[in-house]
Structure 1
């Protein structure tokens, strides 16, 4: 009698290969049975009720609110320019670095922090100084320009 050509390791690899093949077939069969394909249109539709909730039943036409097409606004409303009296703002210098040449002013009215560069200063300023200024839109937001020290 001659010894089998297949070794133990070869047989184990073959068993693992067969098991993987069976698992793959089983997963394929499960996906096929749980698939949504082939459902009719009514089973796939979803409806949104008046509160914005998704449901499987259609909304009663008597309960639908009437919306007039004239009242629908598409786009964003244009912003109106600020009145001329509000152009000059007042604020306090919260931070100013003289070596780097920039700082921030806290607007008294809106409480927002506005960037200021040394080139826009009319008088030299330091922290906690009261100033009046105008604003312009810069690359990264509002910038204070024509900054004057209030005495």
Structure 2
């Protein structure tokens, strides 16, 4: 008993596909791009960002190391002493709040940071310190009565 027509056809298709594949492999080996020199594979970028096969003309610019700035530009030092008005002070609990004249924000202070006793609506000078919940006033003292407000 022989093979059916469709089996013969499938076998012939597989053989043809195998031959085609072998032919393509031979063509690839014949036209192999391997073995190019390094110079043939290099591409250059000119000053405008365009690719070219020709190396650009060598131009060197001398830069003085003193002209190179590394890092962020330094900020001018902040005025550390500020003024404000005591808006709230609880003597029994030992804390209060000062409204800063410059930023108009409410800043916490503790009685341990007072250099002299204060009461509400007193004009004070202080320094700010970053705390866990925002700014705290430290070194709080009554402002001079003749001092100018900003």
If the length of structure 2 is used for normalisation, what is the TM-score? 0.45
Q: Compare CA radii of gyration and give the structure with the larger one.
A: 2
If the length of structure 1 is used for normalisation, what is the TM-score? 0.45
